[in-house]
Amino acid sequence: MTDAKPSFLRRIPLAFGTFFAILGNPELAAAVLRLRRGAPEAPQPEAPAKAAPLHEAAPESALQLLGLLQREARFIDFVEEDVKAYSDADIGAAARLVHDGCRKALHEHFTLRPVRDEAEGARLTLPEGFDASAIRVTGKVVGRPPFSGQLTHRGWRITEARLPRLANGHDPAIVAPAEVEL
């Protein structure tokens, strides 16, 4: 495949992505209109910064956390249970136990702090260059920062993680060993 003539299958996601990009970017919409009319292209606006390259995260810590939530709260058992046959009261009672165990595991192994100190519902302005990995802008996002809006969730940041050390030969993918009663 060349960039000049992408295949039909490559053009489908391009069409959908372009549709939404045009809705959110008036400059791009104007450039597409000029292109469709055969007019010469206008000077391109400054290109947005390229996204940081992605790297693969090692799964061991996530598996370890899942194992801790299972041990303290039977989290996987609860999520994997078909709850359709249970009453809302029974599900609520079970959820309370799972909640307490999950909370215990989180507080024992992590120090959590809010990303933003303001109270939820507070009005705030996000300046140009705000940390988009720490703040997700939602709603009708048009243009460039500064953005003014209402804080709907303070976010969470882990300031310290205290996961147990893994023994050599331990398989972190076993988040709940099978149990055999003798």
* Residue 1: pLDDT band with limits 50, 70, 90: very low
Residues 139, 100: one domain? yes
Same structural domain for residues 104 and 17? no
Decide if pLDDT at 110 tops 60: yes
Report the distance separating Cα 89 and Cα 171, nearest Å.
37
Q: Are 131 and 71 within one domain?
A: yes
Task: Indicate if the pLDDT at residue 39 is higher than 70.
Answer: no
In a domain, 143, yes or no: yes
Q: Span 84-102, mean pLDDT?
A: 94
Q: What is the mean pLDDT of residues 152-172?
A: 92
Mean pLDDT of 69-87: 93
Question: 141 and 73 in one domain?
Answer: yes
Q: Classify residue 51: in a domain, yes or no.
A: no
Residue 49 DSSP SS3: coil
Tell me the C-alpha to C-alpha distance, in Å, between residue 18 and each of 12, 24, 25, 29: 10, 10, 10, 9
The parent domain of residue 29 ranges over: 8-37
Q: Which two tokens stand for residue 55?
A: 């790297």
* Domain contains 157: yes
Same domain, yes or no: 100 and 12: no
Count up the domains in the chain and report the number: 2
Q: Give dist(CA 147, CA 133) in Å, integer.
A: 16
- DSSP strands (E only) in 54-169: 110-114, 123-126, 147-150, 156-161
Residue 93 maps to a domain? yes
166 is a domain residue: no
Look at 9-18, 49-58, 168-177 and tell me which has the smallest mean pLDDT. Answer: 9-18
Rounded percentage of the chain residues whose pLDDT exceeds 70:
82
Tell whether 30 and 69 lie within a shared domain: no
CA 71 – CA 64 distance, rounded (Å): 10
Torsion sign (Cα): 136, 142, 147, 150: negative
- pLDDT above 80 for 47: no
